[in-house]
Amino acid sequence: MNVFDASALLAFLRGEEGADEIERALDAGGVCGAANWSEVIQVLIRHGRDWELSVALLQSYGLDVLPVSGEDGEWAARRWRRGESLSLGDRLCLALGERMDATVWTADKEWGDGGRVRQIR
């Protein structure tokens, strides 16, 4: 099972470095949390992209969007640290990865690489 951070899905949609890795992971099946899904759409709108077409492409891979659970919110809150660069969306994505016992894909270098996290850059 794969969980996708917004940065990973955006890298795929833009054909950026690591897009091929994300495509293989999408082929294997995966999910995106609702908070990260919203971020993907927001960035596409901000850049004037056809977000509905992009959503259709991602869904053609069978990508499911899952709601944020109360437990995800608690997990994310407990991992907040003053001065740390991980946003709430980042921590919710990691929480979903924990809940699903899944590999978490990101393009954010601040996350590092290892454990559940797979860095594409």
Task: Flag residues of the chain having pLDDT under 70.
Answer: 83
**Euclidean distance between the first and the last CA atom of the chain, given in angstroms as a whole number:** 20
**Domain boundaries, position 24:** 2-82+101-119
CATH number (domain holding residue 61): 3.40.50.1010
Output the pTM of the full model: 0.94
Domain assignment present for residue 63? The answer is yes
Q: What is the pLDDT of residue 83?
A: 67
Q: With CA atoms as reference, report the closest residue to 90 among 102, 101, 100, 77.
A: 77
Q: Give the chain's domain count.
A: 1
pLDDT at 78: 94
Flag whether 92 is in a domain.
no
Residue 33 phi, psi (nearest 5): -75, 155
Asked whether residue 44 is domain-assigned, the answer is yes
Q: Assess if residue 13 is contained within a domain.
A: yes
For 21-54, what is each residue's pLDDT tens digit? 999 999 999 999 999 999 999 999 999 999 999 9
pLDDT at 84: 72
Assigned domain for 73 exists: yes
Reduced to 3 states, what is the DSSP secondary structure of residue 79? Answer: coil
pLDDT value at position 112?
A: 80
